A and B are shown apart, each in its own frame.
Chain A
Amino acid sequence: MPLRGISIRWKLTFLIMGVTFTALAVAGTLLYAYQWQAYRQQAVHELKSLLEFVALNTKPAILFDDAKAARENLSTVAMRKEISRAVIYKPDGSVFAESGELKAHVSPRRGPLSVRSFEWRGYEAFMDEPIFDGARWIGTLHMHADLHYLVLNISRYLIILMIILGATLVGTFLLSMYLQKMVSAPILEVAGIARRIRDQKDYSIRITKKYRDTETGHLVEALNQMLAEIQTNTDALENANRELQDLDRLKTEIILTVSHELRTPLHTVQEALSMILDGMCGDVNEEQRGLLTTAKQNIRRLAALINNLLDLQKMALGPDTLQLKPCDINELIRSMLPSLEPIIRPKAIELKTALSEPLHPVLCDGDKIIQVLFNLLHNAIKFTEKGVITVSSAPKDDKEIWVCVCDTGIGFNRNERANLFQAFVQLESGKRKVPGGSGLGLLISKKIIEAHHGRIWVESEEGKGSAFYFSLPYE
């Protein structure tokens, strides 16, 4: 529909003008056809009378074989503008007499001479009138008429018609401009107010002008009701949002404060334990040392939990907190592996790397990626008693880098896998409970990778091991 994108004003104008034009055009065409028909009938009638009259007048000239008189007669006829040729044929087909010069090109006549005929060919008329003396055929009068002049007459009608058509269209245009102004002005007015409301986001504006019980009036009423509803909803949403923001601020504050309040007493407990363990306060026997060491390990675990909570809180602040620099992922991997040495040593684990070299540097926060690697490797070591842990890196489709930490540990089943990246989820089945860990490591890793617009996922088979992957996009 070509009118779809056009304003109501122009739709109305086009519509009115289209209807007017069509009506005038149809009326004009019908008038023209009727007029042409009428002219032609009149012309035929006149021509037939003329033909009979000339035939009658020429009969004596044929009888007396007076070609000159016949020619004069014919010439008189040919002076009429529509008659272009008048001929008298003898029964044998030879010309007895003919009107003078031809006025224009004249198509040749057709058909037998002995039959009375009146034939139309376009605007030309061919007439044959056999002349009889009693019952004897003595000759035939042939006339040719050219009725093009009728077209000329009618063209004048046509021109007048065109002028009327044009004038009407102009009139209609002006009228429709006025009409549509009456129709569309209130709508435009309402639309203007609606636009103002949208731009200023001020839903307290109401359309106050009265349009009484018109279509516009109904529109305005509906619009005002909608505005009232939007205002109510917006206010409610804003309030709810403000409350949520307050709550979020409170949450951040609580986490920061609580972690601070937790760290200080933890610190004193740890320091006291360290001092005793370091022999600052006299000798410590093996049993005491064992108990104090366990106590200290658990202090460390609590401290790690607090650190993780803080990390999580920081990651919640979004990707803005990342310090992005181009990093060689292989370099990061190599740099952090030695820190794992103390927790690998007690186990029969072989730590291998399969790094794709060279890797294009990727924009990331190196410390955070090391934290992810550490979390993944720490888990892998925790859940593997003996076997192989492999860290591998590879480019993927020139768009991202994939890093995989793959172990031959206890693995996960489907249910465990589904919940793995949620807060405080740790493997729980009694025989497999491995102590240590906050239950936040994978969640933090996930947040870090997602802040880099990457993905983290796991493939695992229970009892055979698991493979944690993460991807870092170049862009």
Chain B
Amino acid sequence: MIMGKRILIVDDEPDVSKLLSLALRKSHYDVLVAENGQSALDHAAAFRPDLILLDLKLPDFDGYMLFDRFKKDPATAAVPVVFITAFTVYGNEDVSEKTKRMGAAGCFYKPFEFRDLKTTLETLLV
């Protein structure tokens, strides 16, 4: 079940995505890393992720905007999106509240425990 589930990581910090993808691969997920919003949108259709891990601050896109694009694209509209961000407040708004209101599947503030993220992924990807 978990085996072979595809996760798209959108994060511009190479170290973060490197470690995260390493940990996810070791947990037997199929992982693709996109370093910016455009490449995420380009690859999403072909990769057909089961879940998207999305950073809030990207070089070309605002994470919220990218979220909307995913939700509007029929290919990714049903894919759960979990935010991973170092911001607790972004644009004068509490990030966890805003993402919850937008319909995100979860929100993790860095630094978080991989163990906790893994638990969430397992529930979302049954």
Contact = CB atoms under 8 A, between A and B. Distances in A.
Interface in A235-286: 256, 259-261, 263-272, 274-275, 278, 280
B22 A275 contact: yes
B26 interface: yes
A303 interface: yes
**What is the interface of chain B mostly: helix, strand, loop, or mixed?**
mixed
B114 interface: yes
Nearest to B14: A268
Interface string B111-125: 111110000000000
A280 B19 CA distance: 12
B47 interface: no
Contacts of B88: 307, 310
Given A259-B86, A280-B26, A314-B89, A271 B114 contact: yes
Contacts of B64: none
Contacts of B111: 263, 266-267, 269-271, 299, 303
Contacts of A259: 86
B114 A275 contact: yes
Nearest to A303: B111
A271 B112 CA distance: 8
A275 B23 contact: yes
Max chain A C-beta neighbours (<10 A), residue from B15, B89, B111: B111
Contact of A271 (B23, B57, B86, B89): B23
Given A263-B111, A275-B23, A268 B87 contact: no
Contacts of B87: 256, 260
Contacts of A260: 57, 86-87
> For the side of the interface on B, what is the size category?
20 to 34
Contacts of A272: 19
A291 to B, nearest CB: 19
B13 interface: yes
A274 B110 contact: no
A272 B20 CA distance: 9
Contact of B19 (A266, A271, A310): A271
Contacts of B13: 264, 268
B61 interface: no
Contacts of B20: 271
Nearest to B86: A263
A274 B109 CA distance: 16
Contacts of B115: 274, 278
Nearest to A274: B114
Interface string B55-73: 0010000000000000000
B40 to A, nearest CB: 19
A174 B37 CA distance: 87
Interface residues of A, number: 23
Contacts, number: 56
Given A256-B87, A268-B16, A280 B110 contact: no
B86 A267 contact: yes
**What is the interface of chain A mostly: helix, strand, loop, or mixed?**
helix
A264 B85 CA distance: 8
A267 B26 contact: no
Interface in B3-45: 13, 15-16, 19-20, 22-23, 26
Contacts of A307: 88
Interface in A275-333: 275, 278, 280, 299, 303, 307, 310, 314
B16 A267 contact: yes
Max chain A C-beta neighbours (<10 A), residue from B22, B23, B57, B110: B110
A171 to B, nearest CB: 73
A268 B109 contact: no
Contacts of B22: 275
Contact of B15 (A261, A268, A314): A268
Contacts of A265: 15
A275 B86 contact: no
A252 to B, nearest CB: 9
B114 A266 contact: no
Interface in A145-173: none
A320 to B, nearest CB: 11
A260 B22 CA distance: 23
Contacts of B16: 264, 267-268, 271
Nearest to B11: A264
A465 B79 CA distance: 54
Nearest to A311: B88
Contacts of B112: 267
B113 A274 contact: yes
A275 B20 CA distance: 10
B6 to A, nearest CB: 20
A256 B89 contact: yes
Interface string B74-98: 0000000000001111000000000
Interface of A: 256, 259-261, 263-272, 274-275, 278, 280, 299, 303, 307, 310, 314
Interface of B: 13, 15-16, 19-20, 22-23, 26, 57, 86-89, 109-115
10 contacts: A256-B87, A261-B86, A263-B86, A263-B110, A264-B13, A267-B16, A268-B19, A271-B114, A275-B22, A278-B114
Given A264-B16, A272-B19, 20 more contacts: A260-B86, A260-B87, A263-B86, A263-B110, A263-B111, A264-B13, A264-B110, A267-B86, A267-B110, A270-B111, A270-B113, A271-B20, A271-B23, A271-B114, A274-B115, A275-B22, A275-B23, A303-B111, A310-B88, A310-B89
